Amino acid sequence: MSEENQEQTAGAAPSRRKVIGWGGAGLALGAAAAGGAVALAGDGEGTAPVADTGAAVPFHGPHQAGIATAVQDRLHFAAFDVKTKDRAELVQLLKDWTRAAERMTAGAEVGEGAYGGLPEAPPDDTGEALGLKPSRLTLTIGFGPTLFDGRFGLKDKRPGALVELPKFPGDNLDPARSGGDLCVQACADDPQVAVHAIRNLARIGFGKVAVRWSQLGFGKTSSTTPDAQTPRNLFGFKDGTRNIAGTETERLAKHVWVSGKDAAGAAAWMDGGSYLVARRIRMNVETWDRTPLGEQEDIFGRDKREGAPVGKAKEHDEPFLKAMKPDSHVRLAHPDTNGGATILRRGYSFTDGTDGLGRLDAGLFFLAYQKDVRTGFIPVQTSLGRADALNEYIQHVGSALFAVPPGVRDKDDWWGRALFS
């Protein structure tokens, strides 16, 4: 084999190796930007669809990236329990995580030393993303209700919107796949880049936090890009067609970003943030696959081929709800059925092997962002849990809610500064 071609050259974006400059010089953050390979999808304000899947998404901004950002192809999501009881140690970890996230989203390794470090010390980075492109990696942190239980003096800062989710009809939640003091959502177009990021954050947090549960998602099920076709879920349908696009500044302000009265009092630190609901939804694909096509289409309220609502021709045609069966999924999930409730969906399909009964352990890892779950996910899921015809084929087996703080403004800012200051 040739010894010349040592560099992967699959595209225009700079490789991590190029970004950090292997000569040993420290990283100049923004190097990727100078290379012209930054995707315009960082701050969720008037951003354009992203074509270059190898590019870097800016980390700094008024909102965290990974919400309005055009949905990446792959997901690694992790919920953490905080093990330390020392508030200062937790704060230092959040600062360390922020610096690592800045570097990794720019396509660089964690830490200046990396492989130029001492052979006597463990490497600053685990190395498996070396040579890979930034791949539009975004890292989005959230704080769970249990973080506010008094251990860290945060009781007075628990927002009213950070409720305990009610038990919905049909819920069959596994505590081992639910909750968490912290979460990090890693999205990227290359799964190795997403896995690398979560693993390095877990490594940095060793002894202070422990992974409570995690979930890989192999395929996006939603679009936050205008005019794009909605990807299909594992039932073969397009769902969530009317999702909020990353460019719809007004809908984002109305339904997703916390501001004004929602960012007052205990929730003042949430100005510019959002609330994230994560649900692991097991789909009984084997049963579904034996269901007649007509029944499948009635259950969703769409045709399967095109994704058009009942009686309409195209996916994005306005649905006529009264033409649908009263228990159809689209009708029950529609804002008009739920007092206008609108959420930004960012879910991923998963397949985690088999369930011991010869069936695939597959489904939807549902992720939804909203400014207040009490007027977002809760009314929608109350409608669905009560009557959705789809309930015969699905089961919610994991659940978590997180307050997602605003973006990191600059290199002096850090994840959770307003909460802990």
Residue list 219-238, contact with a second copy (CB under 8 A): 219, 226-229, 231-237
Under the criterion CB under 8 A, does residue 397 sit at the interface with a second copy? no
The least CB distance from residue 162 to a second copy, in Å, is: 24
**Among residues 50, 100, 195, 403, which is the contact residue for a second copy, using CB under 8 A?**
195
Q: What is the DSSP code (8-state) at residue 297?
A: H
Nearer to a second copy, 131 or 260 (CB): 131
Read off φ and ψ for residue 24, nearest 5 degrees.
Answer: 115, -10
Q: Near a second copy by CB under 8 A, which window of 96-104, 178-186, 321-329, 356-364?
A: 356-364
Helix (H) or strand (E) holding 238: none
- Min dist. Cβ of residue 342 to a second copy (A): 15
Q: Which of 29, 33, 91, 130 binds a second copy (CB under 8 A)?
A: 130
358 binds a second copy (CB under 8 A): yes
Q: Looking at 60-68, 128-136, 144-152, 320-328, which segment touches a second copy (CB under 8 A)? A: 128-136
Tokens of 115: 């492989």
Among 34, 48, 88, 210, contact with a second copy (rule: CB under 8 A): 210
Count of C-beta atoms within a 10 Å radius of residue 265: 11
Please, what is the minimum distance in Å from the beta carbon of residue 166 to a second copy? 26
Using CB under 8 A as the binding rule, whether residue 172 contacts a second copy is answered as no
The strand ranges marked E within 52-161 are 74-82, 138-143
Q: Coil, strand or helix: which one is 234?
A: coil
Show the site string, 305-344: x = touches a second copy by CB under 8 A, - = not. Answer: xx-------xxxx---------------------------
Can you state the angle between helices 191-204 and 87-105, rounded to 10 degrees? 150
| Residue 13 structure tokens | 């974006």
Burial of 95 (0-12, 13-18, 19+ CB in 10 A): middle
* Rounded-to-10 torsion of CA 405, 410, 414, 415: 20
* Contact string (CB under 8 A) for a second copy, positions 255-294, x = contact: ------------------------------xx-xxxxxxx
Question: ∠ CA 236-397-73 to the nearest 5 degrees?
Answer: 45
